[in-house]
Amino acid sequence: MYSATDLNPAYSGALARWQNPSPAFASGYDPRTSDNALLVITYGGLAHAADHDWQNAGRRLIDRTYIDILWQVQGLSRIRACRPEQTAAALDGFIRDRVKPTWTELQTLGETGKSALAAKWVDQFARHGFGSLSSEAAASRLLFYLCPMLPVFHLSRGHLLALRRLGRATSGDGYKAYAGTAASAYRELLPALQSMPRPVPMYGDPSQRALIRRLLETSDWWDRRVFDEWLRQGLPDDPDDSELWGCDNAGRLTPARDARR
């Protein structure tokens, strides 16, 4: 059984990413690169579109610049064959075809329904969101921020290795198998995670901060974010290794490198 004390280092790491710009983008001082800001520019953009008949004044619902920021912060910038504009265009279609029809029920779906929908959407966007590429790693990162009410877990080779070190090897490298194993490990930590305070929204205007505050109060997004940090810290290599925690230039997981373990 884990206690909040066991998770304090992971909580501190997640809180630092919540509050501070990411050094992985440009000069390292862009306020749009904190986790708080990433939620505002993705989930906040989605909620804004929902309130405006799924329009954004003729622009992409989620701007290509925000896709580029997310890719660099999340170690996915090695994807070369698909530009951020292509992904932003595909995301427009995905939102209108998949998210819009289910938007009102997303908040009220049961846990089983949410888990099934999360796996389904990761698979669908992985296959149709990146041109000729297929990338569950990139799809899981995007949907983690875009649809924070769904129980999405980040996927990478590092995450698979971290679970293996816990004695929880997955039955395959695909997202569905990984998410089931990750969810099982996550549930063991959940009582301790839920005892820890939520962060304070600091990015955006008052309405955006209020939106994120409601999200944090009504979803387990923050618990999953601390869990993700806990997995990273449990792998004693480089927790910021973009190759291990990101993907290759075709959007795939990097090859297993057991010699490093």
Q: What is the pLDDT along the chain (261 residues), one digit of tens a residue?
A: 789 999 999 999 999 999 999 998 989 999 999 999 999 999 999 999 999 999 999 999 999 999 999 999 998 988 877 899 999 999 999 999 999 999 999 988 999 999 999 999 999 999 999 988 999 999 999 999 999 999 999 999 999 999 999 999 998 899 999 999 999 999 999 999 999 999 999 999 999 999 999 999 999 999 999 999 999 999 876 555 667 898 988 899 988 654 344
Spatial distance between the Cα atoms of 115 and 73, rounded to a whole number of angstroms? 25
Q: What is the residue type of 194?
A: Q
Spatial distance between the Cα atoms of 154 and 77, rounded to a whole number of angstroms? 16
Cβ contacts of 91-96, under 8 Å, gap ≥ 24: 91/60, 91/61, 91/62, 91/67, 91/125, 91/129, 91/142, 91/146, 92/60, 92/61, 92/62, 94/121, 94/124, 94/125, 94/128, 94/129, 95/46, 95/49, 95/54, 95/61, 95/62, 96/54
pTM of the model: 0.95
Spans of all domains in the chain: 4-255
